[in-house]
A and B are shown apart, each in its own frame.
Chain A
């Protein structure tokens, strides 16, 4: 089946491996399928303490009871996934290539368009990089500085050993293992991800990015990220890469948990540009992601920004639970679907504390035969006096064979709540295209310019360097969308 075809190719050799995989922890491969043995294998590979293994097994046993509970409410169509036909541990995912000459030229062309420096291209494409790689040492220098300030930033598998008290306290506290089908699966089999802790009162002086960890271990298809901002702290975290991560694994089910304590602020930015499949809808990543923030403290704030241009299927609702009084949640989203891509994405703003505020700005762009759905929930609890929400959902259609859908849910249990919802749907007009082309722009430049204008409100919330590349990405992902 399509979901695992590429994975299968990359780890094909392990088919011959028939015995004793559980004890052979030197091996970097586990056979196909999901079982308690596989989970024990993963845990052993990570040299995890018993409490971690127990947590995984608990999740797995729960997942087994959920087998028929795969969410079907989203406006997404895909063949049923056979979870026993997938690989859950296969690291390294890709053999190191000797040079860029061995990389798919199409991929390199995209890198070039994005203006990614050559060394970075090599890292992204999984080329073995020489010892003289500046960024590695730069990253190390940064890490040292961060450590001195008390920032913990490391792979979560490392944090399990070095900071078990923090991991125990917070892992699963925002997204419990029982949360949903995909989150449960992730809790059972996650292989790695980032762990961040910002100490009290510290304004983290640099953007933290997974980029720093690229040269480290491959994170695998089930990432787990946990970020804790202690009282009065601030951090801006950039996820993924502006470059296309052509992940050869096709099923991707990540969980991200954010915790903001009193007066803390977390800004989390994502640019997701995984392989979307070809124009006929063949291949591409199935991206089922659970991202949630707990604004636990008074005056805490979480801001999600996402630019989703990749993946064949996107199922993703970065949310905020506004528990602390005066806490604020914001969600800024650009979702672009072209060809046969499908996205069902939005947010949930759960107001529990008093004077909590939320803002949702969603821009959906649909082209080709794609379907793009905004799905959002604003819930105001009975005790959330004076809660405020403002929601704006704009859809832009390119061509006449794509779809845009807006599905907002608003539930208020408190009479002092104020919620606002605005939605628009528009098309790129022939007049706009002709006007731009009459000024010498190619049709693709014109589309990119117009769509970037449409998304501006969201793109400008991204950190500067990121925003520039995101703008280019917007254009690239819509190439060929106008006939």
Chain B
């Protein structure tokens, strides 16, 4: 069974149809990249899968391990293994990164019928992960995302991903706001999480990120439709030639 299946997905916001029939299949161990110009529905796709309010699914379905994703609330989807690395991670004043992580981790453990994690065990776990991501130890004491630099925010997203061990990780424009060094660190973090039973959906505007997180499949999303699919070389082609020819074709 495919890990994540998107079948003929149509999504509207208000009266405007944004996604006009998307179909994608992600198997375990795969990295799929979705590329496309601005305003073409990339973020809509990630938000709809993760369960943000404000989108109408008019047709189609999304299945996670064969389960109907749209029958679940956002938090249930998360506990079932869908993780969204946000383009703009939200600040939560007064809530330390470590207590946020612990609350999230325990929510997942509870869903799995496991007891809450012991405080010492948790600290050990987080420390090992922050170290791997080259993060300063004191970062987990700071309020989540408050006053974080762009790089710190994205690292914190990857840290959460590594603790929550999702089945499907969606990276929404993770490269935005990152300098080349931060991009490398974040990409290394993501690559370290690649596993045979996990899939990644990497949404990006630029080819740059895909130099570091090398995809198995690349899809071009234009005007709410997948205009072309191919291997990693498709990304390079897009970088050289732009989206113009697909935009023309889709119109």
Contact = CB atoms under 8 A, between A and B. Distances in A.
Interface of A: 429-432, 434-443, 445-446, 449-450, 452-457
A454 to B, nearest CB: 6
A470 to B, nearest CB: 14
Contacts, number: 74
Contact of A450 (B52, B89, B92): B92
Contacts of B57: none
Contact of A445 (B51, B92, B93, B103): B103
A434 B52 contact: yes
Among A439, A442, A450, which residue has the most Cβ atoms of chain B within 10 A?
A439
Interface of B: 50-53, 73-75, 78-79, 83-84, 86, 89-90, 92-95, 99-100, 103-104, 107-108, 111, 143, 160, 164
A429 B90 CA distance: 10
22 contacts: A429-B90, A432-B92, A434-B53, A435-B89, A436-B92, A436-B100, A437-B74, A438-B50, A438-B74, A439-B164, A440-B79, A440-B107, A440-B111, A441-B103, A441-B104, A442-B75, A445-B103, A449-B95, A450-B95, A452-B95, A454-B94, A456-B95
Among B75, B90, B100, B111, which residue has the most Cβ atoms of chain A within 10 A?
B75
Main secondary structure of the interface of A (DSSP, over half): helix
Nearest to B81: A440
Contacts of A454: 93-94
Contact of A435 (B79, B86, B99): B86
Contacts of B51: 434, 437-438
B144 to A, nearest CB: 8
A452 B94 contact: yes
Contacts of B83: 438
B92 A453 contact: yes
Nearest to B160: A439
Contacts of B93: 453-454
Nearest to B79: A440
Contacts of A432: 90, 92
A422 to B, nearest CB: 15
A387 B93 CA distance: 31
Given A430-B53, A453-B143, A439 B92 contact: no
B90 A431 contact: yes
Nearest to B104: A439
Contacts of B89: 435
A435 B90 contact: yes
Contacts of B99: 449
Among A437, A446, A456, which residue has the most Cβ atoms of chain B within 10 A?
A437
A298 to B, nearest CB: 36
Contacts of A429: 90
Contact of B94 (A430, A438, A442, A457): A457
Among A429, A430, A436, A440, which residue has the most Cβ atoms of chain B within 10 A?
A440
B90 A439 contact: no
